[in-house]
Each structure stands twice: as structure tokens, then as C-alpha cells.
A and B are shown apart, each in its own frame.
Chain A
Amino acid sequence: MLPSPSRGINGVRVTGSGMNSDERIVNRSLQDPEAFAELVDRHGEDLFHFLRRRAPHDARDLLADVWLAAFHRRHTYHRELGEVRGWLFGIARNIVLAHLRRCAARPEMEPPDGLEALSDTFDWAVIDQRLDLHAVLPAMRAALARLPDTERELLVMVAWNEVTPTQAATALGIPPGTARSRLHRARTSLRKDIEALLAYSDSAEIALPLKSGVTK
């Protein structure tokens, strides 16, 4: 990927302290609509990769949808919702979920590879393929599969440095405290499960039942 000033460390943009400058852009765009494009420059790439991870084939079209939706809804943004970035990821999440539902409802449209049943969270098969590709520790995958959907989605968003826990709370529409405790719970059970699985695997000297366990 080309280097870009809009990307912070590992893709998480570190915004200025105090009054968030994103918020100022949103406010300014109410009078000066073109100003909103600056937010595209700041967060567009990260949103694109967020979409790519969940709907690899349609990310480009969806990105324009996300930004148009955000632009038209910018009047509804207010500080109490959380950071602008979290708000944007919330819109992206809704749009990609709606897209995946539409794909599932219209089988003649090619759904993302391996897409089957859909719930209110992301289809795991798409993410599972990604883990496959990166040879993620089998025990990690098995343990992830055991997490409740809500915890897993949150954990993955944070693990992939898409959003901070606080921004994830905004994106998911839950209080920041809830997000942090869910995240803590998820990490704890993940570690416990993985350690147990690794111990079992060591003692039994057998391969773990992996893929079948991960597909929900």
C-alpha cells in the first residue's frame, strides 16, 4: 500500500487532543458542505480496509455508499455519540451488514465467498478465510469461534486496529464502559481457552479439530 499521511500507527488514526478536529470538520461542513471531503481523506482508507475485510469484492462501491450516507447524515452527528471516527465506523458497519443481507436474500448475486447464514454480526466465514490465509494459531481460531458474536466482533475490530475500544463502542452503539468490559471478558476467555486447548493438544499429541469448530 502507498504510504499516506492519513494513516496513523497501524492504521489507527491518532487524532488531536481536546476538541476533536474531526468534530470541527463536521460542524464546518454544515455551512460548507465541501469541507466534509476532508474527513474522507482522514478516515477513508481505514474504512476501505474495514469494508475489504468484511465484503472483499464490494468494498469499493460500499465505500462511496458509506461516505454518501455519512455526508447526508452529518446533521445528526453530535458529540454525545462519541468520536466522529467511531460514528463513521458505525455507519460503515450498518452499510456492510445491509449489503451482506441483500446478497443473502438474492442468491443470483454472487455473495462473498463462503457466505452462508447471516446474523446481526458479520459473517465469520469471510474473516475465517483471512485467518486461514495468515496461518493464525489454530487454537486462537477455535477459541474465537467460542466467543459470543458481540464480543468477537468487538475484539476483532480492536485487534485489527480499526478503532479504539471507545470508538468501537460508538460504532456498535454501546456505552464505552460496556465495550471495555466486554473486551476484557473476551480477552480473558480467549486466553483461558487457548491455553487449555494448547495444553490438551500437547498432552494428547493430536491435531486440534479446527476448521469445523470455527465455522458457526
Chain B
Amino acid sequence: MSPRPDSAPRVELDPPGWDDLARAGADDSDATFAMAAARAAVLRAAAEERPGPTPPGRHRGRWFVPAAAAVALIVVAAAMVVHRGTVTRSVATPNVVTTPSMVSAALILHRAADATTGPPGGWPNAAYWYTRVEIATLGVGVQSMETWAGRTKAGRSRTTPGAPLSAPGPARFAVGTHQLDWAGLYALPTDFVSLSTRFKGSDGSPGDEIQQIANLLMTSPASPALRRALYQVAAALPGVTGGGAVRDSLGRLGETVSRTEGHLKVQLVVDTDTGSLLEVRLIAASTTAWATPPTPGSVASQPDSPPNTVIAGTLLTRWTVNASGPTTALDRTR
């Protein structure tokens, strides 16, 4: 028997079978992964508690959306007219949120790939692909956006608050340097080696692969096989790090993988039990001034407000997926 940690002397005899009972408590399962996730969750919560990088809703002053990033993520890109942002000045005082990379990103992404299910052939003939996301943008607030990406007909998007917009034509999906239509998406190879070559930029340099992949996972009718391959491509990207367990804005438990692309750290929250991409976060990778008018009419001009410096680590925008799936008709209500 093991020594009793309590100081109280044990006078009674162990009942027969007591040692068996004690042994039955043995649990040999490996805690490494669970521990890393728990530790990462605590460190993340601790980082969020510290003053410093300001999450949306608690910020002082007015910040502008990094519209270039928004462009990369909007599936019906043509439906949203967004001006490109320019970096006007830079401050050399990085204040990066600690993001422990204890859980291998590749492990997370491969688990997500393995968990992805759905009809084997996907949805090659659906009329529209519907997506509802909640978008929170620094300086703008929270919006809900629905998109109907059309296969052969023009799609539509509706942002609340905001006005509905019609897309000029069928949906296009950015893959590498190409804008693929629905059929093009279904013609993509689903083995990840071939697929990964499609994401190479024209000069082969690293670009916005993780944003493109996030966008496809979040808002495109990619088949389950393609989704699996997309996760595998992401897992093989250089510079992808894992961050352990977090909750997304809806309280769903997921695991994060991140990659810095340009001035943005792109963070994906993935449910590795279902293979769903829950949330995409765009975080300022460097302390940078973003001076950009976002979507027309929202936060266009603030003449007395100089270009705003965003501290590295600040959450600029997050996209949280509420729902997605094929649909037969364009919702024309409202």
C-alpha cells in the first residue's frame, strides 16, 4: 500500500479486495496532449486578461478595418467593394501576445482532416452555397454576413447591419493565382501533394495560402475530400504553428493553428472532432498603422483622426462560422 498523505493514523484494516480497487484506478493514458492543450488555454486566458492588445469592443479611439485582409477572406469578393489599405507608418515597439506553440500544428490539422466527413462526392451540382458568418471588426463592431455563392447564377450577400448586395456573377474562389469557378473547384486534385502546387504564387514565394485555405474551408462548397486535402496542405505550409485549445466567440471548443502572412497573423480555430473550421482571426503581426476606409459608407472619413497604429497582437477582425451548406434557392427576403 502507498503511504497515506494525511496525517491521521489509519487504524482500521483494509477491507479484502482493497488493493484491487486501488489498482483499478490506474489510468495509463498519455496526458501529454491534454496537458499541452490545458496549459495553452490557461496561457491564452492569461494573455487576454493582461492590459495591452485591445480586443474589439474595449478599444479606445477608432481603428479601421484592414481592408486588404477582408478582401482576402470575402468569398463573393466582387460583391464587396473594399479599398486596399496602405501602411503609412510603423512603430518599433512590438507587444506580441504570448501564443504557446506546444501542440504541433501538423497534428491538429491532420486530425481535422481525418475527422472531415460529408457526402463523398460533395456538392458539384448544388445551386448555391450558403454561409452565415459573424464578423467582428475593430472599429466597426459586430456584423452578421450571409452569402449565397452561386454555381451558375449570380450570388448574393447580406450584411446585417448593412444593405444586401448582389454579386455580378457566379462565385469565384481564389486558389493560388487563379480565380476558380464552382466546376474549377471540383476539378482540383484532392491529393495534397498535387493540390499544394496550386497554391504556389506565380513566383513560388509564400503568400496568403492560409487565408485562401481558410476562405475555401469557411465559405466554399469544397467537397469533403478537398477539405481534407486543404487541411493537409495547410499542415505542410512553412511557418504554421499550433496553439492548443481555445473557445471561439460562440463558446465552441477548438484548437488553433496560426501563420504569419505579411502584416497579418492568421489564426484558424479548428474543431478537430468534426473537421469544421470554426473561426478565423486576423491579428496584427507587427505594430503597424492601418489607414484604410473599409466598406463604403461605414467608417469612411474621420478627418481629425490620424492613421491609427495598431499594436502587434491586436485582434483586427474575426470571422466566426455560424452555418454553411448547399441550398437550392437564393433567399430574396429583405
Contacts and interface: CB of A to CB of B under 8 A. Distances in A.
A157 B251 CA distance: 31
Interface string B29-50: 1111111011101110111011
A45 B31 contact: yes
Contacts of B38: 40, 44, 48, 63-64, 66-67
A133 B20 CA distance: 11
Given A12-B5, A34-B46, A40 B16 contact: no
A135 B17 CA distance: 10
Nearest to B27: A49
Contact of A53 (B16, B20, B27): B27
Nearest to A10: B2
Interface string B1-18: 011111010001111111
A164 B50 contact: no
A36 B28 CA distance: 26
A133 B245 contact: no
Interface string A25-59: 00001000110110011001100110011000001
B41 A67 contact: yes
Category for how many chain B residues contact A = 35 or more
Contacts of B33: 60
Contacts of A174: none
Given A45-B31, A48-B35, A67 B25 contact: no
Q: Point out which of B12, B13, B26, B247 has the most chain A C-beta atoms below 10 A from its C-beta.
A: B26
B23 A195 contact: no
Interface residues of A, number: 59
A140 B18 CA distance: 8
A98 interface: no
A100 to B, nearest CB: 17
A153 interface: no
A68 B41 contact: yes
Contacts of A49: 27, 29, 31
B46 A165 contact: no
A101 interface: no
B16 A180 contact: no
Contact of A136 (B4, B13, B21, B49): B21
Interface string B188-205: 000000000000000000
Contacts of B3: 9
Contact of B253 (A33, A44, A61, A190): A61
A166 interface: yes
Contact of A34 (B20, B29, B43, B244): B43
A32 to B, nearest CB: 8
A137 interface: yes
A2 interface: yes
A29 B20 CA distance: 40
A72 B45 contact: yes
Minimum-distance CB pairs A-B, first 10: A160-B25, A137-B17, A140-B17, A33-B46, A191-B15, A134-B24, A64-B245, A10-B2, A60-B34, A49-B27
23 contacts: A1-B30, A34-B46, A34-B47, A34-B98, A36-B46, A44-B31, A44-B38, A49-B27, A49-B29, A49-B31, A60-B34, A60-B37, A63-B34, A63-B37, A64-B37, A67-B38, A68-B41, A71-B46, A134-B26, A136-B21, A137-B20, A159-B22, A164-B5
